[in-house]
Amino acid sequence: MANLKEVKQRITSVVSTQQITKAMKMVAAAKLRRAQDKIVQMRPYSQKLTNILNNVSAAAEGAEDLIYAQKREVTKVLIVPITSDKGLCGAFNSNVIKAANLAINEQFAGKQIFILPLGKKAYENFKKSDFALIDQFYQVFSDVAFDNVKSAAEFAMNGFVAGDYDQVVMVYNEFKNVATQIIRTEQFLPMAKEDVTAEVSTSETEYLLEPSRTYILEELVPTALKIQFYKAVLDSNASEHGARMTAMDKATENAGELLKELRLMYNRTRQAAITNEILEIVAGANALGGK
């Protein structure tokens, strides 16, 4: 059985750790509130813009010639894994890295792979790999603003147009709620031509386009793609804080359970030590009395 000093040191250590995890949980909760507001406000705008784009492009003559929708033989793939800059958020980062590696090994086996990491954890992981690494944008989470994210989106879009990449795929955590994040492996380019539902079909939705449909598509498509890219970053940012809040809450609970066990051990050890001292005193008194 451990001595009292060792047990007391462990109790002090666990109490200190519990205070840290509790503080980190509170910080994550405050950051989550702001990040959640951003993604909740962004989603309706992004979805509506995407619906309009689908309607207009589906009705456009020569829509199949849209430069960002051109499909070609896939030999070069750009993977965009989106992680956090910091750890202590459970399986948040490892899930993205596993999903990216799964796509590389199964979906894109035999292809030339390029990695555009967003977040230090993705950068640190893939810089050890043999894949071509683009390291200009991995610090994007130091300031999650549209102008900063737009640069990374433009890099991927320009690379696709120039033929440097035949396909661009994003891997990120989609925010559902504080306790749930959904891993998404989503094709960014070429644009997926989704079927237009009956509710928003081109036959029921008419647009008056000025100055021309071609001009609108040339202006609208890049904007919609950048917003889609930005939405994925906001989803990941909110998911990170939710995952960290959940992880720190669980760590605080585990520390509490460990404290109960250590305090029980401390009391039992202390009681055993006192009992031994009493027994020694009694034995000594009996020995003296026997003389």
Could you tell me if residue 74 is inside a domain? yes
Could you tell me if residue 243 is inside a domain? yes
Q: What is the CATH number of the domain that holds 108?
A: 3.40.1380.10
Could you tell me if residue 33 is inside a domain? yes
Q: Which residues span the domain enclosing 71? A: 21-247
Note the pLDDT tens digit of each residue in 1-40: 568 888 899 999 999 999 999 999 999 999 999 999 999 9
- Per-residue pLDDT, averaged over 37-56, amounts to 82
Could you tell me if residue 7 is inside a domain? no
Could you tell me if residue 282 is inside a domain? no
pLDDT at 282 (0 to 100): 83
Global pTM? 0.84
Note the pLDDT tens digit of each residue in 96-129: 999 999 999 999 999 999 999 999 999 999 999 9
Could you tell me if residue 179 is inside a domain? yes
What residues are paired with 183 via a beta bridge? 173
Q: Which of 80, 89, 224, 251 is catalytic?
A: 89
- Per-residue pLDDT, averaged over 117-142, amounts to 94
How many structural domains comprise the chain? 1
Could you tell me if residue 269 is inside a domain? no
Could you tell me if residue 206 is inside a domain? yes
- Per-residue pLDDT, averaged over 144-173, amounts to 94
Residues contacting 136, CB < 8 A, separation 6+: 151, 152, 155
pLDDT at 59 (0 to 100): 57
DSSP assignment of the chain: ---HHHHHHHHHHHHHHHHHHHHHHHHHHHHHHHHHHHHHHHHHHHHHHHHHHHHHHHHSTTGGG-GGG------EEEEEEB--SS--STTHHHHHHHHHHHIIIIITTTSEEEE--BSHHHHHHHTTSSSEE--SSTTGGGS--HHHHHHHHHHHHHHHHHTS-SEEEEEEEEEEETTEEEEEEEEEESPP-PPPPGGG-TTT-----SS-HHHHHHHHHHHHHHHHHHHHHHHHHHHHHHHHHHHHHHHHHHHHHHHHHHHHHHHHHHHHHHHHHHHHHHHHHHHHHH-
100 is catalytic: no
pLDDT at 208 (0 to 100): 72
